[in-house]
Amino acid sequence: MGTRLTERSANESLSAVNDSSLSVFETAEDIHQYTAQRDTLKANETGIKPLSLLSYVWRVIRELSGDDAYERYIAQHATNFPDTTPLARKDFFLYQQQKKWSGIQRCC
């Protein structure tokens, strides 16, 4: 019963407006559908998409933890040394470990 009142009042309000520049809606359901699509488009234009935000956060976490070190090495190697083959992933991480732990080896 509440739905019929809404449809009737919406249809009556639309019939009262006779402007040719306005969109023509036949039922209140058309109005609701148009409003929902307009709000969705507006949210997509101005808001941040959750998937892209999650992707950005994941990339930042990987960069801060050093998990993307091999991908960064490959990108740098491809631009600076395009003629040579890069290290394999396993060799790269072994090299990184040796570089990290082969420094000064004293207690104090």
pLDDT, tens digit, for every residue of 34-78?
Answer: 776 766 655 555 566 778 889 999 999 999 998 999 999 999 999
| Whole-number pLDDT of residue 58 | 92
Torsion over CA: 77, 78, 79, 83 (sign): positive
Strands (E), 1-108: none
State if pTM tops 0.85: no
The C-alpha atoms of residue 6 and residue 39 are separated, in whole angstroms, by 20
What distance in Å separates the CA atoms of residue 28 and residue 9, rounded to the nearest whole number? 9
pLDDT tens-digit map of 98-107: 988 887 777 7
Quote the CA–CA distance of 69 and 88 in Å, as a whole number: 13
